Copies of this chain bind each other. A is one copy, B any other.
């Protein structure tokens, strides 16, 4: 029986996720319709419903993949040796992650899932795990011991993530920022943070 004509696809679940990622990247969220996706997978309109409860569930699974990528990216980060330089490196890595697949970032952090849709428990868990890992960076040396007195690491994590997120959104949506500004602006943001945290003053211990 030919590959395309057999009744049971065999690996539709994985195929859907894979093709959805391609479609997302190429056409954006708005261009990702279940019907187009099904057609691309060589299957009827409603076949996907046997593998995902609905479109929301499929998008959640897709976003989950993104968060896993982001998590490994954060695992690779090392602020220990040189906090100031490490911070700058991390910010650049984050923005690169967002720019390399803007539609994936939009899906991960956009309202489609978090506001309009219903985030899966599984997605919520992974997304929070990702943020948890970021918070840990604040609670661990070298940052923890250097924070100005009275500064709550959790609040710092939230505020600094907001900056990262805001930069990404303004850039990706093309409002007030474009790719040309990016390096200068992100450096500016990092400088502000470094200055605010007094990180630059005692890198070698003081």
Residues of A near any B CB (own CB < 8 A) = 28, 30, 106, 109-111, 114-116, 127-128, 131, 148, 151-152, 155-156, 158-167, 169-170, 172-177, 181, 184-189, 191-198
Contact = CB atoms under 8 A, between A and B. Distances in A.
Nearest to A173: B114
Contacts of A160: 192
Contact of A110 (B163, B173, B194): B173
A32 to B, nearest CB: 12
Chain A binding surface, main DSSP class? helix
A177 B158 contact: yes
Contacts of A156: 188, 192
Contacts of A170: 158, 161-162, 165
B158 A162 contact: no
Given A163-B166, A169-B166, A196-B195, A175 B30 contact: no
B172 A158 contact: no
A28 B112 CA distance: 12
